[in-house]
């Protein structure tokens, strides 16, 4: 199955998340066959990352967004498990620091963009400035509404400078989110991940859904598309995202650079 075509948000599409099943698996099962498939894809990703790094002509930026407990950390841990850390950088976007807040809202994202040859992963991103600030009314409506166009222009600038962008919205149901948060309460090893805000934010679920629908509808472009990943099943989330990343890298027709030495002349 071509997950790229199946899960992409085509430019101009009006997204309604309630119409999309967060538990969809497209017939795949959580079995040994699927696990072997994911293993092969992750191994292929390792090969492609090495080629990306060696070629040094372009970068890949992966943006992960989703509700609390949707699996952003888990995606990074599992999908990128075989990647060489030297060629990958992860940036987590939390509440802006004093320095970040003193700049325009895109400043902290731009300074974290991966250099050529690298894979960069944003755990949350500049999209927080049309999500959290909207839901909690941190800036006026006329300000955050302008940011959709500014984000599209920013991403176009990156793409024009050979930074390929993949944006994944991890789509989980409210029921699944509650199960995951409750499971963290029951697991002493995961208590540290929780804060009162995680539970308080649940009351804003409809507001976040509306905000995300605008993000997905307004900011999925031909050059920087959004993918809506059914994420109630973690194993399917990993399968879909790893497949799309590999398909994207394979489409770039990357080549190893020409060697600066003649190997045959150096053999004894």
pLDDT in tens, 133-181: 999 999 999 999 999 999 999 999 999 999 999 999 999 999 999 999 9
What is the bridge-based pairing of β-strands 8-9 and 88-92?
unpaired
DSSP 8-state class, residue 223 = S
What integer pLDDT is reported at residue 40 of this predicted model?
95
| Cα–Cα distance for residue pair 103/210, rounded to 1 Å | 27
Residue 2 confidence class, pLDDT cut points 50, 70, 90: confident
Tokens 């292929």 locate to 44
| Cα–Cα distance for residue pair 209/42, rounded to 1 Å | 31
pLDDT digit string, tens, across residues 19-29: 999 999 999 99
What integer pLDDT is reported at residue 50 of this predicted model?
96
Residue 48 in 3-state DSSP?
Answer: helix
* Total residues found in the chain within this entry: 268
Average the pLDDT over each of 49-63, 121-135, 181-195 and give the range with the smallest value: 181-195
Tokens 């959290």 locate to 132
Question: Mean of the pLDDT values across residues 10-39?
Answer: 97
142 touches 134 (CB < 8 A): no
pLDDT digit string, tens, across residues 205-263: 999 999 999 999 999 999 999 999 999 999 999 999 999 999 999 999 999 998 877 77
| Cα–Cα distance for residue pair 61/78, rounded to 1 Å | 17
**Three-state SS letters, 146-214:** HHHHHHHHHHHHHHHCCEEEEEEEEECCHHHHHHHHHHHHHCCCCHHHCCHHHHHHHHHHHHHHHHHHH
For 95: left if phi > 0, alpha if psi spans -120 to 50, otherwise beta; the answer is beta
Average the pLDDT over each of 32-41, 54-63, 208-217, 252-261 and give the range with the smallest value: 252-261
Residue 197 in this model has a pLDDT that exceeds 70: yes
Which of 196, 162, 242 lies closest to 68, judged by CA?
A: 196
36 touches 199 (CB < 8 A): no
What integer pLDDT is reported at residue 258 of this predicted model?
87
Average the pLDDT over each of 60-64, 85-89, 111-115 and give the range with the smallest value: 85-89
201 touches 181 (CB < 8 A): no
The full set of domain ranges for the chain reads 3-252
Tokens 């399968």 locate to 239
Bridge partners for 163 per DSSP: 59
Question: Mean of the pLDDT values across residues 117-139?
Answer: 97
Residue 188 confidence class, pLDDT cut points 50, 70, 90: confident
What integer pLDDT is reported at residue 42 of this predicted model?
94
pLDDT digit string, tens, across residues 70-98: 999 999 999 998 899 999 999 999 999 99
| Cα–Cα distance for residue pair 55/60, rounded to 1 Å | 13
CATH assignment of 3-252? 3.40.50.300
37 touches 1 (CB < 8 A): no
Written as one string, the DSSP assignment of 67-129 is: STTSSHHHHHHHHTTTS-GGGEEEEE--SPPHHHHTS-TTHHHHTTPPPTT-EEEEES-GGGG
What integer pLDDT is reported at residue 268 of this predicted model?
60
Question: Mean of the pLDDT values across residues 194-203?
Answer: 82
Q: What percent of the chain has pLDDT over 70?
A: 99
Which of 40, 105, 58 lies closest to 239, judged by CA?
A: 40
Mean pLDDT, the chain, whole residue set? 94
Question: Mean of the pLDDT values across residues 130-134?
Answer: 97
| Cα–Cα distance for residue pair 222/159, rounded to 1 Å | 11
């Amino acid at each position: 199955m071509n997950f790229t075509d199946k899960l992409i948000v085509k430019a101009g599409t009006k997204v309604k998340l309630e119409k999309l099943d967060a538990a969809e698996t497209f017939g795949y099962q959580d079995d040994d066959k699927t696990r072997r498939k994911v293993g092969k894809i992750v191994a292929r990703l390792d090969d492609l990352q090495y080629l990306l790094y060696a070629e040094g002509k372009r970068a890949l930026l992966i943006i992960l967004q989703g509700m609390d407990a949707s699996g952003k950390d888990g995606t990074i841990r599992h999908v990128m498990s075989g990647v060489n850390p030297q060629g990958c950088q992860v940036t987590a976007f939390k509440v802006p620091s004093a320095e970040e807040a003193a700049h325009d809202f895109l400043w902290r994202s731009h300074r974290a963009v991966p250099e050529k040859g690298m894979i960069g992963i944003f755990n949350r991103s500049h999209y927080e400035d049309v999500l959290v600030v909207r839901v909690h009314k941190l800036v006026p409506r006329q300000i955050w509404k302008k940011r959709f166009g500014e984000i599209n222009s920013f991403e176009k600038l990156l793409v024009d400078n050979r930074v390929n962008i993949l944006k994944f919205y991890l789509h989980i149901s409210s029921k699944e989110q509650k199960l995951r948060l409750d499971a963290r309460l029951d697991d002493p090893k995961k208590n540290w991940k929780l804060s009162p805000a995680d539970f308080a934010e649940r009351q804003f679920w409809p507001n976040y859904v509306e905000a995300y629908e605008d993000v997905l509808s307004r900011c999925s472009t031909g050059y920087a598309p959004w993918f809506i990943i059914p994420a109630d099943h973690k194993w399917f989330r990993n399968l879909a995202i790893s497949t799309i990343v590999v398909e994207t890298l394979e489409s770039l027709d990357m080549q190893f650079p020409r060697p600066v030495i003649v190997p045959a002349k150096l053999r004894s």
